Amino acid sequence: MTTRIAIIRHGTTSWNKAGRLQGHSDIPLDEEGILQALRLGQRLMGEEWDLVYSSHLLRARQTAAIIAQELGIDTVEEDKRLGEAGGGLIEGTTEEDRVHKWGQEWKKLDLGMESNEAVVNRGLAFIREILTDNAGKNMLLVSHGSFIRQLLAALFPDMLPVPNMKNTSITRLQFINNSWHCELFNCISHLE
């Protein structure tokens, strides 16, 4: 039995364009982000999708709602485990802000950021649950760049380092015979 999961990064926001770290900050899609989600939804229309899951954060929920509407799926299931990695004190800042405030070595400081281990643990717990509950189904997960990169690094250690995820990129995974396969990675052909 094959279970298909497509992981999607949310559309663009004003903070993406300003280079501000979003983390748990609840930033809406900008106009371009709404259009990106619409184009991805239209791209996916000819395919079979059973369920849509989304992070609880607004930018992901908006992206998921637009895609679900295009696919004729009535319900988007929200789950906090799909939320972005918490940025602590660096949320809302740019790289320049961080260097100015905390110095070049700011990444070594305890600024209240969620650990990679915590992000991966909640992501894998979510994946295990949906694989058990929805074996054989085709599911879309709408989440966030850092979360997706960390989850993929855990599922596909050979992929390291995982590059930055593009807004509304789609990464398709198959789970067959207790083994993961990546059939499409970070694809934004719907925007080209």
> Which residues are part of the catalytic machinery?
10, 84
180 is in an annotated binding site: no
3 is in an annotated binding site: no
164 is in an annotated binding site: no
14 is in an annotated binding site: yes
12 is in an annotated binding site: yes
9 is in an annotated binding site: yes
Structure tokens at 182: 């990546």
- The distance of Cα 142 from the centroid of its chain, to the nearest Å, equals 5
- The CA distance from 111 to 170, in Å, is 31
Element containing residue 68 per DSSP (H, E) = helix 58-71
- The CA distance from 113 to 119, in Å, is 11
* Cβ neighbours of residue 165 closer than 8 Å, sequence gap 6 or more: 9, 145, 148, 149, 171, 186
- The CA distance from 64 to 100, in Å, is 36
- The distance of Cα 99 from the centroid of its chain, to the nearest Å, equals 26
16 is in an annotated binding site: yes
189 is in an annotated binding site: no
Structure tokens at 75: 């319900």
49 is in an annotated binding site: no
Give the annotated binding-site residues for substrate.
Answer: 9-16, 59
Give the annotated binding-site residues.
Answer: 9-16, 59
